[in-house]
Amino acid sequence: MNKLRLPLLIAIIALAAIAILLVSQKPAALQPIDEPVVKPAEGGIYSEGLIGTFKRLNPVLDYYNQADREVDRLLFSGMLRVDDHGLPQADLATSWGISRDGTIYNFSLNPEAVWHDGKPVSSDDVIFTIQMMTDDDSPLPADLRDFWKQIAVSRLDDKTLQFKLPEPYAPFLDYLTFGVLPAHLLGDLSMAELIDDPFNLQPVGSGPYRFDHLITSDGQITGVVLSIFKNYYGQQAYIDQIALRYYPDASTAYAAYQEGEIGGIGDVTADILPEVLKEKDLSIYTTRLPEMTMILLNLDNEQVSFFQDVNVRIALMEGLNRQSIIDNLEDGQAILADGPIFPGSWAYYTGIEHYAYNPDQAIGMLREAGFTLPADGGDVRTNEDGTALSFELIYPDDPQHVALADAIRKDWSLLGIKVTLNPLPFDQLLSEHLDIRNYQAALVDLNLSRSPDPDPYPFWHQTQISSGQNYSKWDDRQASEYLEQARITTDMAERTRLYKNFQVRWAQELPALPLYYPVYTYAVSSEVHGVGVGPVLDPADRFNNVNAWYLVTSRATGEETLTPYP
């Protein structure tokens, strides 16, 4: 036994010594390695295709030209901007205060903000821009001009100004995102003169990029080149130049990409999406648009009194195979809608009720509401009074809505509902039917582009039944009270609570049938880094974080690498 113990003891001592040696020396593989830090660096040129034509580079004149707005987003700054959730953020204005009654707003402008010609941005510039917006010759919509005519604007000093509202209006901050014009260059012009002024061809703004030159071909303006503005008051951009070229449609822009003329496509439409998805060198970004396709129901039309029964409305909703519609008619480029406030908004309630496709349950609800198929045969449900579940659906007379209306008709026919389709020119649908509430059901698109604040008041409040946009004539006092209070309180937590309550009530009563939100798709060369696109209020919002985009990287050694780029 002793002979065995001695070798064992020696072995144990040897192993212990080896263990101590291993602990005292770290393996080479675990030694920290000094990897060079790669960071964005200034440099490079990015070229993108815009869909549309050049008109005027002026934020007061670009309301109806999408392509101009996209260029102006890079050239001009607003007092405020909104983030991906629709919340106001500082821009030219660094701080602001609101009076207790919500009628007075004081703003301080960034002391470092200067125009591209080096002159300081001042209160006079903001006041001049508003004067242009309220001019009777302004091309802005009449309701926007009238809104600003009610606001008293005062210059307190070079960098502070005050706004006085006739009554509390919580969404006011969202109106301050307009691009500001330089008064020292344009202050002597009237709106009529401004429309044709050379400034619109060689603009001076205060944004992260300045105007460099126009690209022309055969006497036509085919693009704009912008250069980085070194004295920008905000985060300095990285990309030296951005060249924006105009194309009549997305397919032409895609062809230009394939030829190496551009590295990004400003709007990837459904007709080119399948091919664009195959491009290994393109990064695709998709986000929700501030639009909703929905079916309005006239809740105060005696010819279709059954619409007043919430169970009938819910049955109509559950009888629609909306996902199938999205997949087959929208090429999957839409998101199911549940309510009147868009997902991604600060006011959106994630717990809102979702109505899934359930035709069996829908049929059961119609039976409970008293509508059954005739015992002697027939395809249309009636009640004991002989009222048939039959109504007319009006909709815009274009291929997209024609196909959508037919799909809706087919889904509802499976429930025993007869729908008569009536396509109409949009102007006629609006003026001869919706505006005067002369309809039974209507398939429409609700577009809230450039409206960061959700404010559902115009569409669902009781006061808007007669002359506003409450086309469904939804007369619900509880919902209206939520909307009233949300409009006058500046407490964001309280506004969020009120809109949550409104959405719960809306989903319970279902005064209209939400179908889906369309999406916006944008393509950028995979060589461009730092791109990020959240929910947009306008396609121009894709440039919200352009300051973070980069093509060039630098390492800790100081070495720079330029990404190859057309």
Reported as a single tens digit per residue, the pLDDT across 86-119 is: 899 999 999 999 999 999 999 999 999 999 999 9
pTM metric for this prediction: 0.87
324 vs 554, residue with greater confidence: 324
418 closest CA partner among 410, 427, 426: 410
Mean pLDDT throughout 67-73? Answer: 97
* Predicted local distance difference test score (pLDDT) of residue 48: 98
pLDDT digits (tens, 9 = 90+) for 458-477: 999 999 999 899 999 999 99
Q: Is the pLDDT of residue 21 over 60?
A: no
pLDDT-derived band at 39 (thresholds 50, 70, 90) equals: confident
pLDDT digits (tens, 9 = 90+) for 411-455: 999 999 999 999 999 999 999 999 999 999 999 999 988 888 899
What is the C-alpha to C-alpha distance for residues 173 and 77, in angstroms, rounded to an integer? 15
Burial 528-552 (b: 16+ CB within 10 A, else e): bbebebbbbbbbbbbbbbbbebbbb
- Pairing state of beta strands 282-288 and 291-297? unpaired
pLDDT-derived band at 383 (thresholds 50, 70, 90) equals: very high
The percent of residues in the chain predicted with pLDDT above 70, rounded, is 91
* Predicted local distance difference test score (pLDDT) of residue 174: 92
Mean pLDDT rounded to a whole number for the chain: 91
CATH number for domain 77-194, candidates 3.40.50.1970, 3.40.50.300, 3.90.76.10, 3.40.50.1700:
3.90.76.10
Q: Is the pLDDT of residue 60 over 60?
A: yes
pLDDT digits (tens, 9 = 90+) for 177-192: 999 999 999 999 999 9
> Domain extents for the chain?
35-56+207-281+526-566, 77-194, 291-518
CATH number for domain 291-518, candidates 3.40.1280.10, 3.10.105.10, 1.10.510.10, 3.40.1390.20:
3.10.105.10
- Pairing state of beta strands 441-447 and 390-396? parallel
Residue for token digits 């105060």? 300
Mean pLDDT throughout 534-562? Answer: 81
CATH homologous superfamily, domain 35-56+207-281+526-566: Periplasmic binding protein-like II (3.40.190.10)
* Predicted local distance difference test score (pLDDT) of residue 558: 53
